[in-house]
């Protein structure tokens, strides 16, 4: 139903431009942290023509985390090698597994580089011992052991004393400190619980019940039954349903090794202030241990799961299954995928499902996690005991011994419950339990309970030949080389040191391959090396993944293995080690700074995964101090030795006693396009793959030269000359007013305008300590493309990104400049705007470095012919892959029908790409980069003096240019008129398996009330309200401030976002839950800011036999708002959802970037600061009548509505439509890593 706690989402919803934010009334989506590689554009945004954001691709939590942790995820992913979504959590840092591995994100720090465990301070003969100091405990707080280092245990009198190797080894073997606030306990029935107080988000908590049973525990005739139980138990719970009106959100997912039910809840009810923890625990108790297996619920969920199975069965899912089947061919992980087998799902009756539940779902086989604003720990422990203490399965004979997390202090607050709970806490026997015949039921010590064949040196086993998975829906070539070893538990300083050295080593390889070869025309699309722990698989896996165009596959493999061998043989250079060590430490420092601002769900996921892997859990400060301590002991020789061991399965491939790859799997297309020939069968054989690997290893190798890294891109002398030449200054914001600065004290937003026309907005905030974010927005985007320049903007942006050079600096130098200054940068475009975004550290002049890079891009950008060739080839490849994607083909056909074949809203066709030149794409992009057409917003923990100095120095010295009249150059955009033969269409794709999907779309206003042909809908509203007299602002009966929503510029943004929430809820309850026609259906709005139009889209997945009924049912819900009117309960729930989201996201810098967007844009004249500071009041003031007024302008009649059904199957008819298909980036780059798509989808 949802992903396991390591979703593959790369912050998609958060990283899109403001227009693409789901259900937010204006520019609310904010860019999450970007990859370090500068100027890497994202064509996903522009290509995703139908969707406001990625739909529930993995987990509801992945969207909650989309805005990011700041440094919390940065260190976990950069230091600890969390690769493409795999859960490689180590021991000290919460992580949000969203992005790429390697030095994907860095964040700054402000703590001194001093460790609580400095190895240089060890004196001969003195051993370091952890001193467990009791923290001060208040009347309601138990004494918690704080495993920190006491002052007396650290003798710092002789800092220069050199310790011996034996002494160092002794210190390194010291256990890592445990998290001082993490409470662990166990009830006498065996239920384990962990509690962690956490203040973010305020007044909320996470409660997750992890039952240690998953698909790996199923027998041959039970494949998918754990997932079925998850559905029935979760959706059949009446106690969970009672929480729906409280603001709580809940969901569930099943994976190989566990099933998790989770509830995100307020601490108290809004109306009466009642504590919600008991109700949440009661709901989880019912869901996990006391479900009702009624025949009606089983049948309803059987239909839902069969729909989910077909929805999941994409080519990406099938590729993931193939990878897992070969990687784990020796055990059940290869054939126990959580979704199950269709033929078995059809057969199970309630009794069989109940019997599996009785065998596996019992308290001793479960762990409860509570993380959030839980101030009264003793009370929480009492609540856990009161709810779960008497829960045990019918055939469970005894109650297991209970251990207290508080030792002797337990008697001070433990409840006197039957069964001797209080007595057991103090170690005494209970008469009641003495009489019970002991029948011990415990969870398995090893999860998942499988045996692996390890890839270790000298282990005798037969080498497996490369496996080949060939399919007609695969577009590009990819190969994965796997190495599988036991998980090395990170429990000592020595373990942590080893991880740090591996991270440095692999970061160097990632940079070398993806920077050096990107400077030319590489034979590969991407090369990734991931080394990560996997709790769901119970092992550590190293994966070399190479993707390429099919015709280049041999060269791509040779390059990848050649670079691996070169790094293994020569190692990293001293400059590389110093550079990446410094970056990782700075990132760790920033994480420690954010110790009190990490969201509860991220802390919880980290703890859950750490528990599964056996790693020690530290808090962020402990983790940073421990990292500093081990960093002092790392040498270049050891880094290269440890790193070489990771790569041996590749670099020593074919040699005696070398570790054998666990599997080599190539996923390839059946047919490939050959210029001048057309579609040709693609042939490849296992021995060819082996030969290509060996050939790459035989290429001559040379050591890596040290690269000169610029300390600054603009010297002080150059800056002085620029300031003398341009004389930058601030000017009045408007001609009508003389104010050169506008500051809103309520929101803290300042607005400025430079003499060259560039507008500047900034907000000072301590949301993320010493971190800043910046976004440049340039008006125009793809809408400025005309019939002779289709694709010029999107290809131009990609070309600039591919080049990566500025001035006289090479791509490599620019990227290392970003690494050294902890700068993440991206460049992307959509239909309305071009965006350039930065995340930077506010230490060591990090903000000035980011502004220098922005100045250089604007003033000294470099356009390279080979970068243009790569960008063009990339889009050509995407185009040719469209017929192999059911969803993209269907979406494309709908878009072309609805928008009169306007290519600005899809991707450029080969015909359009052939007409482009380097000069034409450069002109298309740079003509938009003019002063009056640019707006820069900055948010962060800086001072007014710091930000305004940077603005004047580096933005004020950009050459002024008159703004072109882009409005006049935008060709007309219109919806296809009725009648036509394309209002309803179908797409057919041949596939080995049956699937179906559909999109339903129609016109909507833009965010600010403009419709096609430039019609201002506020004029319509004013006419309808002409006879009504209302005050613009007043108080309601409860004293709350109210706004006349209809007179506010955000009327349509507010009301349509509330409508979207209500329609989504109705689609779920009707089309999915009641009618059983789909597993996944959603309604989303695409509201433009600048263009005078918008549209809505309903996306539904189904089966070929049900998809037409599903489309009709969706139309019925969409049109049924008059016959089945909205009620106050629905509106209140929608308001709570959006307000909670807004409140939580205002704690992030990235969200504020979205709020600031277009504040001074002449093309979005209706947006001002009131749209930000009155947002909450606008939501609260909206009425049902307001929603219906906006609903009248959603075109849902037959003459306005467009629909397209896509059907895939072996017997599908031929699609005779000759219109050019859409293309996007989905499927080109791996999303989320090995096997992630095999995890089940969200329940709700």
Please give the positions annotated as active site: 230, 301
The distance between the two most distant Cα atoms of the chain, rounded to a whole number of Å, is 93
Burial class of 334 by CB neighbour count within 10 A (0 to 12, 13 to 18, 19+)? middle
Residue 433: its H or E element? helix 431-434
Spatial contact of 200 and 1145, defined as CB atoms under 8 Å apart: no
Integer Cα distance of 444 and 873 in angstroms: 52
Strand partners, 665: 467, 480
What stretch of H or E contains 689? helix 686-698
Residues 6+ apart with CB under 8 A from 1215: 889, 986, 987, 988, 989
Distance of CA 553 to the CA centre of its chain: 30
**Contact criterion met (CB below 8 Å) for 1161 and 1167:** yes
Q: Is the peptide bond before 62 cis (omega within 30 degrees of 0)?
A: no
SS3 content of the chain, % helix, strand, coil (to 5): 40, 15, 45
- Contact (CB, 8 A) for 372 and 295: no
d(CA 634, CA 638): 7
> What is d(CA 1102, CA 142) in angstroms, rounded to the nearest whole number?
53
CA distance 1137 to 1140: 5
Strands 539-548 and 477-485: antiparallel
For the record, the structure tokens of 946 come out as 């710091």
Can you spell out the DSSP letters for 1143-1191? HHHTTSHHHHHHHHTTTT-TTSTT--THHHHTHHHHHHH--HHHHHHHH
H or E stretch covering 846: helix 846-859
Please, which residues bridge with residue 1000 across strands? 1098, 1203
Terminal C-alpha separation, the chain:
8
- DSSP assignment of 553-574 equals HHHHHHHHHHHHHHHHHH---H
Task: Give Cβ neighbours of residue 7 (< 8 Å, ≥ 6 apart).
Answer: 58, 59, 61, 62, 65, 85, 97, 98, 1232, 1236
d(CA 229, CA 454): 33
Q: How far is CA 1134 from CA 279, 1042, 1186, in A?
A: 22, 18, 14
In this structure, are residues 503 and 584 in contact, taking their beta carbons and an 8 Å threshold? Answer: yes
Counted residue by residue, the chain has a size of: 1244
Contact 10, 613 (CB under 8 A): no
Q: What is the C-alpha separation between 1072 and 30, in angstroms, rounded?
A: 31
Per the listing, tokens 């629905």 go with 1130
C-alpha pair distances (Å), 998 with each of 47, 719, 1023: 18, 56, 38
Asked if residues 570 and 505 have their Cβ atoms less than 8 Å apart, the reply is no
**CA nearest 537: which of 259, 319, 334?**
334
* Angle of CA points 630, 635, 637, to nearest 5°: 140
User: Are the CB atoms for 660 and 455 separated by under 8 Å?
Assistant: yes
- Distance, in Å, from the CA atom of 1151 to the CA atom of 1144, rounded to the nearest integer, reads 10
The helix (H) or strand (E) run that includes residue 586 is helix 574-593
């Amino acid at each position: 139903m949802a992903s396991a706690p390591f979703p593959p989402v790369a912050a998609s919803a958060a990283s899109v431009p403001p227009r693409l934010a789901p259900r937010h009334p204006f520019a609310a989506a904010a860019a999450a942290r970007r990859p370090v590689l500068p100027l890497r554009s994202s064509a996903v945004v522009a290509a995703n023509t139908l969707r406001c954001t990625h739909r529930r691709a993995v987990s509801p939590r992945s969207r909650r985390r989309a805005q990011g942790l700041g440094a919390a995820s940065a260190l976990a992913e950069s230091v600890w090698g969390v690769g493409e979504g795999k859960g490689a959590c180590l021991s000290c840092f919460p992580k949000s597994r969203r992005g790429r591995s390697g030095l994907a994100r860095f964040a700054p720090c402000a703590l001194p580089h001093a460790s609580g465990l400095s190895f240089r301070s060890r004196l001969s003969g003195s051993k370091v011992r952890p001193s467990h100091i009791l923290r001060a405990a208040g009347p309601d707080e138990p004494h918690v052991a704080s495993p920190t280092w006491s002052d007396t245990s650290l003798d710092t009198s002789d800092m220069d004393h050199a310790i011996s190797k034996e002494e160092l080894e002794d210190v390194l073997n010291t256990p890592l400190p445990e998290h001082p606030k993490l409470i662990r306990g166990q009830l006498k029935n065996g239920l384990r619980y962990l509690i962690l107080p956490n203040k973010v988000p305020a007044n909320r908590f996470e409660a997750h019940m992890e039952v240690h049973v998953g698909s790996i525990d199923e027998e041959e005739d039970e494949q998918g039954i754990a997932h079925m139980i998850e559905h029935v138990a979760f959706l059949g719970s009446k106690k969970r349903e009672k929480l729906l009106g409280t603001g709580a959100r809940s969901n569930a997912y099943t994976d190989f090794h566990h099933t998790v039910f989770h509830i995100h809840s307020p601490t108290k009810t809004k109306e009466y202030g009642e504590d919600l923890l008991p109700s949440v625990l009661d709901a989880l108790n019912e869901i996990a241990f006391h479900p009702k297996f009624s025949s009606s619920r089983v049948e309803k969920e059987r239909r839902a799961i069969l729909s989910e199975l077909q929805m999941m069965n994409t080519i990406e899912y099938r590729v993931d299954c193939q990878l897992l089947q070969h990687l784990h061919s020796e055990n059940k992980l290869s054939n126990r995928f959580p979704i199950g087998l269709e033929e078995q799902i059809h057969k199970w009756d309630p009794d069989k499902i109940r019997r599996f539940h009785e065998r596996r779902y019992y308290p001793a086989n479960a762990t409860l996690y509570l993380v959030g604003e839980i101030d009264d720990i003793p009370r929480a422990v009492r609540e856990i005991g009161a709810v779960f203490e008497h829960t045990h399965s019918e055939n469970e004979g005894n109650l297991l011994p209970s251990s207290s997390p508080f030792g002797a202090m337990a008697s001070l607050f433990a409840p006197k419950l039957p069964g001797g709970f209080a007595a057991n806490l103090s170690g005494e026997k209970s008469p009641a339990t003495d009489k019970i015949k002991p029948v011990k039921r415990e969870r398995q010590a090893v999860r998942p309970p499988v045996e692996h064949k390890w890839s270790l040196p000298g282990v005798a086993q037969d080498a497996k030949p490369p496996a080949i998975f060939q399919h007609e829906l695969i577009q590009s070539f990819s190969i994965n080389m796997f190495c599988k070893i036991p998980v090395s538990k990170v429990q000592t300083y020595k373990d942590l040191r080893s991880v740090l050295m591996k991270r440095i080593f692999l970061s160097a390889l990632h940079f070398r391959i993806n920077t050096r070869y990107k400077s030319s025309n590489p034979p590969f699309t991407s090369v990734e090396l991931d080394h990560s722990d996997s709790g769901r698989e119970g092992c550590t896996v190293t994966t070399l993944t190479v993707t390429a165009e099919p015709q280049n596959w041999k060269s791509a493999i040779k390059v990848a293995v050649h670079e691996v061998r070169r790094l293994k043989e020569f190692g990293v250079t001293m400059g590389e080690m110093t550079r990446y060590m410094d970056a990782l430490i700075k990132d760790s420092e920033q994480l420690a700074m954010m110790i009190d601002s990490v969201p509860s769900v991220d802390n919880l996921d980290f703890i859950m995964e750490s528990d599964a892997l056996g790693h020690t859990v530290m808090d962020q400060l402990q983790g940073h101090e421990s990292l500093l301590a081990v960093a002092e002991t790392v040498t270049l020789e050891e880094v290269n030795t440890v790193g070489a061991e990771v790569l041996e399965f590749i670099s020593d491939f074919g040699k005696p006693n070398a570790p054998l790859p666990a599997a080599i799997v190539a996923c390839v297309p059946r047919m490939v396009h050959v210029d001048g020939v057309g579609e040709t069968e693609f042939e490849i054989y296992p021995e060819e793959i082996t030969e290509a690997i060996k050939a790459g290893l035989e290429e001559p190798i040379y050591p890596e030269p040290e690269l000169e890294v610029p300390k600054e891109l603009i010297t002080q002398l150059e800056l002085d000359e620029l300031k003398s030449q341009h004389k930058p200054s601030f000017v009045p914001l408007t001609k009508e007013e003389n104010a050169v600065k506008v500051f809103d004290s309520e929101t803290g937003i300042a607005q400025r305008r430079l003499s060259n026309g560039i507008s500047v907005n900034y907000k000072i905030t301590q949301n993320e300590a010493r971190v800043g974010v910046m976004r440049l927005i340039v008006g125009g985007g793809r809408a400025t493309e005309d019939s002779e320049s289709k694709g010029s903007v999107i290809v131009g942006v990609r070309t600039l990104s591919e080049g990566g050079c500025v001035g006289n600096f090479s791509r490599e130098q620019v990227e290392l400049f970003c690494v050294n200054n902890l700068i993440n940068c991206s460049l992307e475009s959509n239909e309305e705007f071009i965006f350039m975004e930065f995340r930077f550290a506010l230490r060591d002049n990090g903000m000035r470095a980011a502004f220098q890079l922005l100045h250089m891009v604007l003033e000294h950008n470099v356009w390279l012919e080979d970068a243009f060739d790569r960008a063009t080839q990339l889009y050509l490849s995407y185009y040719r892959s469209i017929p192999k994607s059911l969803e993209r083909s269907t979406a494309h056909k709908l878009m072309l029908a609805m928008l009169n074949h306007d290519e600005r809203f899809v991707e450029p066709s080969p015909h359009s790409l052939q007409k482009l030149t380097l000069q034409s794409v450069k002109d298309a992009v740079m003509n938009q980069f003019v002063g009056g057409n640019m707006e820069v917003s900055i948010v962060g923990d800086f001072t007014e003096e710091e930000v305004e100095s940077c603005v004047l120095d580096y933005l004020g010295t950009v050459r002024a240019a008159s703004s072109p009249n882009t409005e006049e150059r935008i060709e007309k955009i219109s919806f296809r008129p009725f009648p036509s033969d394309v209002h309803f269409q179908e797409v057919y794709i041949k596939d080995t398996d049956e699937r179906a999907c559909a999109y339903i779309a129609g016109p909507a206003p833009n965010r600010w009330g403009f419709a096609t042909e430039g019609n201002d809908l506020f004029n319509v509203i004013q006419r309808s309200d002409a006879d009504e007299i209302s005050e613009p602002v007043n108080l309601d009966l409860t004293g709350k401030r109210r706004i006349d929503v209809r007179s506010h510029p955000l009327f349509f943004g507010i009301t349509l976002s509330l409508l979207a929430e209500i329609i989504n809820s109705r689609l779920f309850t009707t089309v999915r839950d009641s009618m059983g026609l789909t597993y996944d259906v959603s309604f989303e709005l695409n509201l433009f800011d600048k263009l005078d139009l918008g549209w809505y889209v309903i996306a539904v997945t189904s089966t070929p036999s049900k998809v037409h009924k599903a489309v009709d049912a969706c139309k019925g819900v969409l049109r049924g708002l008059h016959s089945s009117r909205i009620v106050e309960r629905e509106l209140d729930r929608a308001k709570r959802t959006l307000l909670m989201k807004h409140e939580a996201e205002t704690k992030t810098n990235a969200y504020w970037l979205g709020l600031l967007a277009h504040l001074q844009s002449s093309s979005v004249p209706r947006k001002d600061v009131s749209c930000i500071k009155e947002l909450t009041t606008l939501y609260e003031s909206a009425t049902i009548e307001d929603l219906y007024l906006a609903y009248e302008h959603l075109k849902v009649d037959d003459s306005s509505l467009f629909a397209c059904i896509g059907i895939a199957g072996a017997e599908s008819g031929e699609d005779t439509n000759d219109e050019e298909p859409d293309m996007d980036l989905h499927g080109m780059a791996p999303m989320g890593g090995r096997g992630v798509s095999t995890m089940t989808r969200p329940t709700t």
